[in-house]
Amino acid sequence: MAEAPARVVSMNLCADQYALLLAGPGQLVSVSHVSRDTVASPYAALAAEVPVNHGGAEEIWLLRPDLVLAHEWSDTRVLAILRRLGIDVLQIPVPEAIAEIPDTVRAYGDALGQSATAELLATAFEQRLADLEFRAAALPPGKTATLYGANGYSAGMTGMAGDILRHAGLLPAGGALFAGGSVPLETLVMEAPDMIITGARYAGWSRSEALLDHPVFDALPAARRLSGPAWACGTPRVLDAVEALLAVREAS
Amino acid sequence: MTLLTLTDLTVRRGDCPVVDGVSFTLGAGEFVGLIGPNGAGKTSLLRGALGLLPHEGHSSVAELPPGPRSRHVAFLPQAREIAWPMQVADLVRLGRHPHDARAKADADAVDRALRRMGLADYAPRLATQLSGGEQARVLIARALAQETPLILADEPVAGLDPAAQIAAARVFADLAGEGHAVLASLHDLGLAARHCTRLLLMDRGRLVADGPPSEVLTPQNLRDVFGITAHFQTGPEGPIFQPLDRVRPQ
Amino acid sequence: MSYRLELLLGAGVILALAGSLLIGPAGLLPAESFAALLSGEGPAGLVMREIRLPRAILGALVGAALGLSGAALQGYLRNPLAEPGLIGVTGAASLGAVIALQTGLAAAFTLGLPLAALAGALAAVLLILALAGPRGAALTLILAGIAISALAGAFTALVLNLSPNPYATYEMVFWMMGSLANRSFTHVWLAAPFVVVGGAVLLSLGRSLDALALGEDAAESMGVRLSRLRLALVLGVASSVGAATAVAGGIGFVGLVVPHLLRRAVGSRPSRLLGASALGGALLVLLADIAVRLILPEKDLKLGVLMAIIGAPLFLHLVYRTRRELG
């Protein structure tokens, strides 16, 4: 295994999370500016001390990184420039299922030269996952749930969001909600899931989020829960999301 | 019966009085021609008398509240505005605005006004598609439909063909004969001389002569105010007035 | 006088309301829909009562407000190009609404939203009347409208960009194009009083607007109180357009298309055009809102897109017809 890179820059929210979790002291030079957003960033608290960047090629270059962490969908033009300048750019896929998380942790650990830390983290994650699966199995089956956020956006159930629900012993709602995308309010009402998980709200007002204030929600029998940063990016914190759902279900 | 009393009426544009201390009264049965050269203040006098312009002095009409005033006096502005392609009958019916809408009374008044102006056949036509002269007659009919004791008209016959001019002047004279009063600004002095019972001559905002045509259209007034000479004679066919030539300014 | 036109339009509005209630992604059968509307039970009852019914009512209200305001403005300015959207009233109302929403005024005070939109609309109408003059010459009217729309649009974009909310920035298109998607009875109750009161004020101006067809002097001599008429017009338009825009965004061209299509049918009488345009506006917006749901059912296609596709060519035609006046 190669020597640990001395200066690491992350330019994507999801890569930020793993870098913040695993980097050694002084190793992480900069993370994306979104990483401090407490609504979207699972480990925002860890990002408070790290300088932020906005993903521009020039800005990243000036940080003199040995390794740049990016998303699969990061701006390919920026990445091409950085690679031409001789910088290592790594795009580790965001996990699409809870079971993929330990290996993702290990992959980042290898990239950062922090394999031992990563192994500890991955093992702890697997242990906690097993505990939670045990708790979920004790709950009555058949309850349905869906995500429904700003603009009527449903994350879809094929990815991480559905996996979180399933690990909390919930059945993902069907139809358009299962497929994901912008789902009309009418469709949500007709689908009548037992639980609706909406996104946490940003400051200020938007019509997109105001949809979630529609009075029809008060009339729906479904329980409403807020999602939160734990749901984002497929980090070890997804288990916080699972545990929160389990706690609600166990209490009712 | 007095229908309009002006006392010392003054209308200013800026500091300059465009109507300057004009006083007269107008009684039932009069068809009065308001004459004077361009810029003499005829339009301002009419608008001031109606209260459409800020003024000093008194106008018995301007002092009435809008409702009673609109049932006392009808006004025919100089600008012949017809904003929308309305049917002639609908346009004339606008003259009924001041009256409490009673469909039958309104329809009768519109009918009378159209017939008086020889427009009975025009009722269903679109006013905006008529010629300028026809539109002028429609607008006179609109003022007639208001059925007020007093009519003020600002150049009602300008642009009409001779037959229509004479017809319109006869209508005004007939109305006066029926006990109404008409005050109309006119540029055709021949028409004024033949049909008006009385003329008011204005010059630079002042009323300089007031009386029957023969006393107003004197050679001196014509020379001083209009700068013209004219032939004026009352023969077996009534008064005949014909301007002849300009007088060179001294 | 025969009111066949108004009866036809009224019947059309009722049919369009029914159509609006029947169309939606939930795919309910007509009989089911109406049964659910009456019973209010189950998910279908919620869809009918909480989602489709307010949307349909709001469509009719907003359309009526815009059609009526267009007819009233045109009657007052004696210009067929006068339309709340084109002369900047809608844009300014949007700005007022956006300011109320982003500053938290709308959340702090129930009537904050419609009142702020009303204030925006009021400022625009006053500015237009001051700039275009009483006769509303086409050129000044349109130029003043462009300037006011541009300014209001720029400030709206600025306020949205300054918002801490990441979604807000992308909502310019709603404030420019309008939409009735996902509206609720909250919005109906916010807008209805202002639309109804403003509309009643405008409808009461019919006879005065008729008289104004002969010019200001003639109208005044027939007993029309011009200053009172102007005040009532300004407040009526600001109230209806402000409230409509606050809840449905900036839907353009309704006030242009509807009076234009109906003018001949009412003999060009401004008074009769008012009521007919209110009905026609309601019908047009309801139909357009049905169309956006049929064309792109899940995309929230903005109403203004459809209105502009219908309205802009008509606007060009009107400009062409008045080109001598404009030149």
Predicted local confidence at residue C326, as pLDDT: 43
Predicted local confidence at residue C1, as pLDDT: 59
The answer, yes or no, to whether residue B130 has pLDDT greater than 90, is yes
What is the pTM assigned to this prediction?
A: 0.90
Q: What pLDDT band is residue B1 in, cutting at 50, 70 and 90?
A: confident
H helix intervals, A63-211: 76-84, 101-112, 115-137, 160-167, 175-179, 185-191, 207-210
In a domain, A132, yes or no: no
Q: Residue ranges of the domains in chain B?
A: 2-81+148-246
The residue to which tokens 């939160």 are assigned: A228
Predicted local confidence at residue A13, as pLDDT: 95
Can chain C be said to touch chain B, i.e. do they have 3 or more Cβ pairs within 8 angstroms?
A: yes
The answer, yes or no, to whether residue C324 has pLDDT greater than 80, is no
Q: What is the CATH number of the domain that holds A149?
A: 3.40.50.1980
**Most B CBs within 10 Å, among C77, C135, C221, C274, to test the B interface:** C221
For residues A168 and A245, the answer to whether their CB atoms sit within 8 Å is yes
Phi then psi for B236, rounded to 5 degrees?
A: -65, -20
Predicted local confidence at residue A180, as pLDDT: 83
In a domain, A131, yes or no: no
Predicted local confidence at residue C136, as pLDDT: 64
Q: What pLDDT band is residue C300 in, cutting at 50, 70 and 90?
A: confident
Chain C positions in Cβ-Cβ contact with residue A206 (cut-off 8 Å): 163, 165-168, 171
**Most C CBs within 10 Å, among A190, A196, A211, A212, to test the C interface:** A190
For residues B61 and B4, the answer to whether their CB atoms sit within 8 Å is yes
Chain A positions in Cβ-Cβ contact with residue C102 (cut-off 8 Å): 204-205
The answer, yes or no, to whether residue C134 has pLDDT greater than 70, is no
Residues 67-106 of B with CB under 8 A from C: 67, 69-71, 73-77, 79, 81-87, 90-91, 94-95, 97-98
Cα–Cα distance for residue pair A184/B176, rounded to 1 Å = 75
Does ipTM top 0.90? yes
Closest by CA position to A173, among listed A186, A190, A198? A190
CB atoms within 10 A of CB B179: 12
Phi then psi for A69, rounded to 5 degrees?
A: -100, 130
Give the three-state DSSP class for C83.
coil
Is A205 in Cβ contact with C46 (below 8 Å)? no
The class of domain C2-326 in CATH terms is: mainly alpha
Cα–Cα distance for residue pair C148/C127, rounded to 1 Å = 8
Minimal C-alpha gap between C196 and chain A (Å) = 23
The answer, yes or no, to whether residue C299 has pLDDT greater than 80, is no
Predicted local confidence at residue A175, as pLDDT: 82
In a domain, A226, yes or no: yes
Q: In this structure, what DSSP letter does residue A33 have? A: G
For residues A144 and A193, the answer to whether their CB atoms sit within 8 Å is yes
* Count of helix runs (H) and strand runs (E) in chain B: 9, 11
Same structural domain, A76 and A154: no
The stretch C246-256 carries a mean pLDDT of 94
Closest by CA position to A96, among listed A27, A163, A1? A163
Q: What is the pLDDT of residues B97-117, one digit of tens each?
A: 999 778 899 999 999 999 999
H helix intervals, B76-207: 88-93, 103-116, 132-145, 162-177, 189-195
In a domain, A185, yes or no: yes
The stretch B162-188 carries a mean pLDDT of 96
The closest CB to that of C217, out of B75, B82, B91, belongs to B75
In a domain, A148, yes or no: yes
Q: Which of B170-184, C24-38, C78-92, C169-183 holds the top average pLDDT?
A: B170-184
> What range defines the domain where residue A201 resides?
140-251
Same structural domain, A202 and A231: yes
- What token pair was written down for B12? 């200013």
Same structural domain, A159 and A117: no
Of 3.40.50.720, 3.40.50.300, 3.20.20.80, 3.40.350.10, the CATH number of B2-81+148-246 is 3.40.50.300
Mean pLDDT of chain B: 94
Of residues C1 and C245, which shows the higher confidence score?
C245
Minimal C-alpha gap between C26 and chain A (Å) = 5
Same structural domain, A154 and A245: yes
The stretch B70-94 carries a mean pLDDT of 95
Predicted local confidence at residue C323, as pLDDT: 67
For residues C81 and C319, the answer to whether their CB atoms sit within 8 Å is yes
In total, the C-beta contacts within 8 angstroms joining chain A to chain C are 86
Q: What is the pLDDT of residues B180-210, one digit of tens each?
A: 999 999 999 999 999 999 999 999 999 999 9
The stretch B51-79 carries a mean pLDDT of 95
Digitized pLDDT (tens) for each residue of chain A, 252 residues in all? 457 899 999 999 999 999 999 999 999 999 999 999 998 999 999 999 999 999 999 999 999 999 999 999 999 999 999 999 999 999 999 999 999 999 999 999 999 999 999 999 999 999 999 999 999 999 998 899 999 999 888 887 888 999 999 999 998 888 888 888 888 899 999 999 999 999 888 888 898 899 999 999 998 888 888 888 999 999 999 999 999 999 998 887
DSSP code string of C134-190: TTT-HHHHHHHHHHHHHHHHHHHHHHHHH-S-TTGGGGHHHHHH---TT--HHHHHH
Same structural domain, A12 and A98: yes
Same structural domain, A103 and A193: no
Whether B132 contacts chain C with CB within 8 A = no
Minimal C-alpha gap between B248 and chain C (Å) = 38
Q: What pLDDT band is residue B172 in, cutting at 50, 70 and 90?
A: very high
For residues B169 and B157, the answer to whether their CB atoms sit within 8 Å is yes
Cα–Cα distance for residue pair C104/C261, rounded to 1 Å = 41
Predicted local confidence at residue C76, as pLDDT: 93
Q: What is the pLDDT of residues B138-150, one digit of tens each?
A: 999 999 999 999 9
Is B94 in Cβ contact with C222 (below 8 Å)? yes
β-bridge partners, B202: B207
- What token pair was written down for C204? 């009461």
Q: Residue ranges of the domains in chain C?
A: 2-326
- Helix then strand then coil, in percent of chain B rounded to 5, is 40, 30, 30
Cα–Cα distance for residue pair C207/C272, rounded to 1 Å = 9
Give the three-state DSSP class for B230.
strand
Total domains, chain A: 2
* B238-246/A144-147 β-pairing: unpaired
